[in-house]
Structure 1
Amino acid sequence: MDNTTIRDSVGYQLAYASKHQQNQLITALDELDLQGGQELVLAQLAETDGCSQSDLAEALSVKPPSITKAVRKLEDVGFVERQRDPDDARIQQVFLTEEGEKMIPPIEACWSRTEETMLDGFTTEERLLLRRMLIQIQENIGMPYETKE
């Protein structure tokens, strides 16, 4: 075993960078009156509108109570609405409202600005390589990367 300290490890550097990227993103989202994580719910609904809360939780790798809380807050501000599934009244489907749909472009702009800051000085090839390596890390730790089909 080498003498690498925790702070020198790739995992620490990845977590540290992720934490600070998340802090920058939260600051940017605050300008949209969104809390961190709510933008991911809205973005997921932009891709799969009308999905169940349990499907949202699975897609975002969070626990169902976290989704319930986020959906409730987003519903309170008029960005989403819940409806009972017509085939199974036990299931709540979540839909973007018109106001929620309007939030997608500003959310994407926040993510884009944050990513540009984070990857400043990287070439296109380095960005693609980093992305590929991060996907491999996700697969290595049992969190396979999902592509849109």
Structure 2
Amino acid sequence: MDNHTIRSCSEGTETPGKYISAIYRHLQILISDRLQPYRIGSGQYIFLLTIAKKEGISQKALSKELLIDKTTTAKAIKKLEAEGYVQRETDPNDKRYHLLYLTESGGLVVPKIQTVLDEIHEKSRAGMDDDEYALMLSLLEKMLCNVSEQVLQRRINDDSTP
């Protein structure tokens, strides 16, 4: 196939999961490429953005907020701390927990991350008008509610099993 051949963006079985998964993977590649100069991985920026919105959040609360396991959160925070973007302070009310704050460098990089995300977002919705985009979001939200309910029900059933 030469460079001038137009090919379909998708081939094979048509399921929402296929598209959602492919979109996620492609977005992660784009985000990772754009954040590389800041030494921030595509899986780490969400921690910085959340800490920026909730300065002083505990690692435990951050994990819960992002629905990410504690081990993954700890690794991400350790990396962001090593890069000088985040600092951990012992919670004065409970020494077992750490509270998270942006450093000056972290505060400076957050707007740059947001700009990158905004630019990628705009390019990703090319060819969609506002109504189409709103409909897509509404349908995705419905799907999320449906699968979240199934996960919740599974957890309830697992907890009630002796």
Aligned partners of 2:12 and 2:98: how far apart in 1? Answer: 43
State the AA in 2 paired with 1:62.
I
1:147 matched residue in structure 2: none
Offset at residue 137 of structure 1 (A): 1.5
Specify the SS of the correspondent of 1:90.
Answer: coil
Unpaired segments ≥5 residues, structure 2: 1-10, 150-162
Residue 114 of structure 1 corresponds to 120
2:24 maps to which residue? 18
Aligned to 1:46: 52
Give the share of equivalent positions with the same residue, in percent: 27
Match of 1:34, SS?
coil
Listed as ranges, the gaps of 5+ residues in structure 1 are: 144-149
The one-letter amino acid paired with 2:117 is W
Q: TM-score of the superposition, structure 1-length normalised? A: 0.87
Match of 1:104 among 110, 123, 126: 110
**Other structure's SS at 1:100 match:** helix
Give the letter aligned to residue 109 of structure 1: T
Local SS of the residue matching 1:99: helix
Indicate the structure (1 or 2) with the bigger Cα radius of gyration: 2
> Which structure features the higher share of strand residues?
1
Q: Which runs of 4+ in 1 moved over 4 A?
A: none
Number of aligned pairs?
139
Q: CA RMSD in A?
A: 1.6
Q: Deviations over 1:21-70 (max 9, x none)?
A: 12111111113221112110000011111111011111111110111111
Inter-partner Cα distance in structure 1 for 2:65 and 2:144: 14
Secondary structure at the residue paired with 2:96? strand
- CA distance in 2 between counterparts of 1:29 and 1:7 reads 33
The partner residue of 2:82 within 54, 76, 84 is: 76
Deviation at 1:6, TM superposition (A): 6.9
